Amino acid sequence: MNSEIQTLIEQRPHLRDPLERYARWLHFSQSVQEMLSGVQLVRSEGDARSYPGNVADAVFDLFLDVLGVSAEHLAPLRAALARGDLDFLRFPLDDYPVLPDFSCSPEEASTVLFLLSRPHFQALRQRSPQDGGAWVGGRCPLCSAQPVLASIVEGPQRRLHCSFCATIGTFRFIGCPHCGNNDVERLGTIVSDDEPGFRIATCDECHSYLKTIESSVLQKMSVDLADMASLPLDMVAQDKGYVRLAPNPIGLRKMT
């Protein structure tokens, strides 16, 4: 576990469990990046959709080890990955496959597939960076995912952060990136004194919300950790009836 996560656990002991889960996923992600560093990521159309065939099995073994899940439970997922049936590029569009004999709910399946695929998208970003560009329609220009967070930087300017590949881009300062609504009377803000530097941007048109952070927060922690540290704000927004559309770093959307 890295020192940033350990420090955050000490500061926010009520978040120990989700932060430890994130630490395990981060270990998985870093190990996958090392595996992929010497591999041609896209050698064929099939490789663009998933992990290259020559490393896919090793990635899955590592995934099982990190999650602490039995190989038998995820056997249908391993088989689908080996056959090339998993099109990761559909996941950011909320298009997850229904796998025969995979005994879990659609929500659980989408969480597992998100956690498995996210290092693949982050590797794509490293090799084809598109940071700094405009997010047309509120979607990531690289993988088409929705934003996990927004940040405010000098200008002021609003930047969106991708939930899958971590690409950063710009979006107009006023307006909902999820539905395009720019009617200020149907846009709101929720602020909590317990979370300085954070606020929640809400939209009464599509009933979604997006956590927004000041740039000073990102000088202290990563976007992932900022999202994890502010989990109580998700609960506040969801208690008021707003919906989170992009998964957080451990694949969750519903906190209540």
Domain identity same for 181 and 69: no
Each residue's pLDDT expressed in tens, for the chain with a length of 256 residues: 788 999 999 999 999 999 999 999 999 999 999 888 866 555 444 456 889 888 899 999 999 988 888 888 899 999 999 888 899 999 999 999 988 888 888 899 999 999 999 999 999 998 888 999 999 999 999 999 999 999 998 878 999 999 999 999 999 999 999 999 999 999 999 998 888 899 999 999 999 999 999 988 988 899 999 999 999 999 999 999 999 999 999 999 998 6
Domain identity same for 188 and 99: no
DSSP per-residue codes, 179-203:
T----GGGEEEE--TTSTTEEEEEE
Q: Tell me, yes or no, whether 44 lies in a domain.
A: yes
What pLDDT shows up at residue 66? 83
Domain identity same for 88 and 172: no
Domain identity same for 85 and 155: no
Helix, strand, coil share of the chain (percent; to 5): 45, 15, 40
Residues 63 and 116: their CA atoms lie apart, in Å, by: 7
What pLDDT shows up at residue 144? 94
Domain identity same for 80 and 151: no
- Distances from the Cα of 65 to the Cαs of 60, 69, 71, 99, in angstroms? 9, 7, 9, 21
Domain identity same for 97 and 152: no
Handedness of CA 173, 205, 105, 255 (dihedral sign): positive
Domain identity same for 51 and 111: yes
Domain identity same for 107 and 143: no
Number of domains in the chain: 2
Domain identity same for 8 and 89: yes
Domain identity same for 8 and 119: yes
What pLDDT shows up at residue 42? 52
User: Residue 201 is part of which domain span?
Assistant: 136-239
- Give the tokens for residue 74: 């995820």
